[in-house]
Amino acid sequence: MKTITLIQGDGIGPEITSAAVKIIDAAGVKIDWDVQTAGADVIDKEGSPLPMRVIQSVRKNGTALKSPVTTPIGKGFRSVNVTLRKELDLYANLRPCCNIPSVKTRYENVDIVVVRENTEDLYAGVEEMINKDTAHSIKIITRQASERIAKFAFEYALKNNRSLVSAVTKANICKLSDGLFLEAARRIASEYPNIQYKEILVDNCCMQLVQNPGQFDVLLLPNLYGDIVSDLTAGLIGGLGVAQGANIGENCAVFEPVHGSAPDIAGQNKANPTAIILSAVEMLNYINENKKAAMIKNALFKTFKDGIFTADLGGTSSCTGFTDAIIKNLQE
């Protein structure tokens, strides 16, 4: 039986995690969950929102399913999500964004994969107050990390029959940092003559995404633009409730939804668990449980086809009601 780390998170985390675990169990996948708590709730007892045991667990098991974890603001702790990605060198943030059958949106032709660099840029956390009225935040871009993520994007495109990689930057303003990112992307692109390579500025990219998302295929972005643009692409396919994600490194992978802990709807049984379910489907593919992964995805899509939706998608179903409907479809 495969052991997988389960980080339940906070806010809507426990509700959506419970949904995903129940569905995986109902599909007959035997997983020994190594449950790890993190976030604000463990600070008092363990002195950190991300105790070492969590990192060690993921390192040991190689795979994790993670819910959103809130890092308390103003208490001097670095973001749990950023630290986990850095510590485990989960350098690639993969966020596929594809229309979901029966989920009505403004667009019908969205099939985009966002590949976001996950370890540097403004997320390096190098900030200082120059004086009481001036703050500096350092944007770090290295050739090595940029080439590594570009290679990931092109390899992904190759393996998944995708034909276009677009590098998204603001290189007209951040000439050195984003310029270096592009230089790295161009070098890697030259090794993949069968995959088309384009460059686009992030502001224009946002407008083009809203006007005609069908023109994009794989998007390759530094960390911050990747964060913002992947929320935008989530909006194209029905919002954060359906947007899946994965953080991938050489030795381990953490699968997690794009969304945060949604404190505004926490504890109300309103959350849409689709994003974590789709993340879990990718996790099952990652551990070669492809048949079960497909079963779960089909049951989820059938649930939408049956007209069962949570409130974020205009429906009336609760998180648990939606989960039960998926389980029923699994069993049919």
Q: Where along the sequence are the contacts to ligand ATP (CB under 6 A)?
A: 12, 68, 240-241, 259-262, 264-265, 271-272, 275, 312
- Look up 170 and say whether it is catalytic: yes
Which CB, 95 or 259, lies closer to ligand ATP? Answer: 259
**3-state SS, one letter per residue, for 39-63:** CHHHHHHHCCCCCHHHHHHHHHHCE
Which CB, 82 or 140, lies closer to ligand ATP? Answer: 82
Q: Which of 139, 151, 170, 198 is catalytic?
A: 170
Which CB, 157 or 265, lies closer to ligand ATP? Answer: 265
Instruction: Please answer whether residues 181 and 222 qualify as being in contact, where contact means their C-beta atoms are separated by less than 8 angstroms.
Output: yes
Return the closest-CA partner of residue 122 out of 172, 177, 71, 74: 177
Minimum CB–partner distance for residue 161 and ligand ATP (Å): 30
Decide the pairing of beta strands 92-98 and 246-248.
antiparallel
- Look up 306 and say whether it is catalytic: no
Instruction: Please answer whether residues 228 and 93 qualify as being in contact, where contact means their C-beta atoms are separated by less than 8 angstroms.
Output: no
Which CB, 120 or 312, lies closer to ligand ATP? Answer: 312
Which CB, 68 or 213, lies closer to ligand ATP? Answer: 68
Q: Which of 123, 156, 197, 225 is catalytic?
A: 123
Q: Exposed, middle or buried by CB within 10 Å (0-12, 13-18, 19+), for 107?
A: middle
Minimum CB–partner distance for residue 191 and ligand ATP (Å): 34
Instruction: Please answer whether residues 182 and 188 qualify as being in contact, where contact means their C-beta atoms are separated by less than 8 angstroms.
Output: no
Minimum CB–partner distance for residue 58 and ligand ATP (Å): 19
Q: Report CA torsion sign: 235, 110, 197, 91.
A: positive
Minimum CB–partner distance for residue 264 and ligand ATP (Å): 5
- Look up 231 and say whether it is catalytic: yes
CA distances from 3 to 14, 57, 64, 65 (A): 19, 10, 9, 11
Q: Report CA torsion sign: 181, 200, 229, 246.
A: negative
CA–CA separation, 267 and 231 (whole Å): 23
Q: Which of 25, 32, 203, 306 is catalytic?
A: 203
Which CB, 171 or 308, lies closer to ligand ATP? Answer: 308
Q: Exposure string (b/e) for 138-157, b if CB count within 10 Å is 16 or more?
A: ebbbbeebbbbbbbbbbebb
Which CB, 213 or 238, lies closer to ligand ATP? Answer: 238
- Look up 86 and say whether it is catalytic: no
Minimum CB–partner distance for residue 312 and ligand ATP (Å): 4
- Look up 10 and say whether it is catalytic: no
Query: For tokens 């039986």, what's the residue?
Result: 1
Report the residue closest to ligand ATP, judged by CB: 260
CA–CA separation, 293 and 27 (whole Å): 9
Q: Exposed, middle or buried by CB within 10 Å (0-12, 13-18, 19+), for 215?
A: middle
Minimum CB–partner distance for residue 185 and ligand ATP (Å): 26
Minimum CB–partner distance for residue 261 and ligand ATP (Å): 5
Question: DSSP label at 180?
Answer: H
- Enumerate the active-site residues: 123, 170, 203, 227, 231
